[in-house]
Amino acid sequence: MSRFFASILAGSVLTCTLLAATPASADTLLVDRTKQPAGMAVPTRGMSMADVEARFGVPTERMDPRGGQKRQWPTINRWVYPTFTVYFERNRVIDTVANRATASEIGPKPAIR
């Protein structure tokens, strides 16, 4: 074996050894955390605002409505709870999204206020 290939092989072995010795780290993605057990209670699509408030209580924050400038653009309301945000089209739930658990969690950008 030539000296050139021997040095490349030795460098590769050293690199693999160093990589194996470094501790592994991983990020928790918001998408991974939203796969909660089926028993977790969140508002479901089609619930009315009154139903959501009766079942989950008063939201921590009611964000300003968006849209509604034209008939084709329905008004979207957002209610923020400690663990999730509920999106309403007019007065019906269209989606529920998990909030970030920590500031270091990787997920969507904060809501536009």
Question: Is residue 22 very low, low, confident or very high in pLDDT (cuts 50, 70, 90)?
Answer: low
Structural domain includes residue 91: yes
In the chain, the number of structural domains is 1
pLDDT band, residue 16 (cuts 50/70/90): low
Given this model, what pLDDT does residue 78 score?
A: 95
The whole-angstrom distance between residue 45's C-alpha and the CA centroid of its chain comes to: 18
> Does pTM surpass 0.95?
no
76 within domain boundaries: yes
Helical H runs in 1-113? 3-21, 30-33, 49-56
pLDDT for res 95: 92
Q: How far is CA 34 from CA 5, 14, 22, 58, 80, in A?
A: 49, 40, 30, 22, 16
Domain assignment of residue 106, yes or no: no
Contact 14, 92 (CB under 8 A): no
Domain residues for the domain of 63 are: 27-98
**Above pLDDT 70, what percent of the chain?**
52
Look at residue 21 and tell me if it is in a domain.
Answer: no
Residue 46 resides in a domain: yes
Q: How confident is the model at residue 71 (pLDDT cuts 50, 70, 90)?
A: confident
